[in-house]
Structure 1
Amino acid sequence: MGELDETSSVAYQPADKSKIRKLWMIALILAIVTAIEFVLATVLPRGPLLYFTFVALTIVKAFYIVAEFMHLKGEVKTLIWSILIPIIFVVWLIIALLAEGASIFELKF
């Protein structure tokens, strides 16, 4: 019962050093962008400049995650645009809702 099945063969594949190096490079880029966000959060005062910077840096991180880990970097442009255009509209919706929500404080009762 405790014997190994000799008929199955598992072949060891040596590590692909170029893929491992690429993953470490992407992890380093994401870590650097996160560190920049952290430093800016502690240095800059709260306001539109800081929020815009956070959104821009988050988009950079999202690009690397989607392009590399979801393998969309080599896909056809139609697929990329079918993902990008709805995201643009969602970002526009969030900005519009924030602008309208901020205007409630300007109302006088």
Structure 2
Amino acid sequence: MAAHTQEHKSHTALIWKVFGILSVITIVEVILGILKPDVLHLTKILGTSPLNIIFLVLTVIKAYYITWFFMHMADESKSLRRAVVWTSVFLIIYLATLLLIEGSYINDVLSPLVKWSY
């Protein structure tokens, strides 16, 4: 019977690199959430503030890193990776668009009735 040998590569450096990237993104999100710069918070682009768009993009980047490295998608077949990634991308875009459109509609309808505090 032939012995099966598998090399085991240590991914410690990669894990620390991904941890560092996720930490930096989270720190940026927290700082932006605390400071809420007026130029990013009170301006409107595509029906929402640039701050919301920045949060959405940073969240998608974090989701990518978590899925790709910690859920081991990098080791899967190309077709499975594409199925998971593209389905997630389209679902995230759809939900974000739906939330932004509906949130803008609710704001437009209720703004004469409710005083929004900024």
Say which SS state the counterpart of residue 30 (structure 2) adopts: helix
| Greater Rg over alpha carbons, structure | 1
Give the counterpart of 1:24 among 13, 16, 20: 16
TM-score (norm 1): 0.68
Query: Deviation of residue 105 (structure 1)?
Result: 4.2
Q: Post-superposition shift, 1:28?
A: 1.0
Superimposed CA distance per residue, residues 20-62 of structure 1 (whole angstroms, 9 cap, x where no aligned partner): 2221111111101101111222232435211111111111111
- C-alpha RMSD of the superposition: 2.4
> Normalising by the residue count of structure 2, what TM-score does the alignment of the two structures yield?
0.64
- Percent of paired sites with the same residue: 30
Paired residues in the alignment total 93
- In the TM superposition, what whole-angstrom CA distance separates every residue of 1:57-107 from its partner, at most 9, and x where no partner exists? 111111111111111023222112211232233221342244134324434
Unaligned runs of 5+ in 2: 1-8, 43-48, 113-118
Where relative contact order (Cα < 8 A, 6+ residues apart) is larger, the structure is: 2
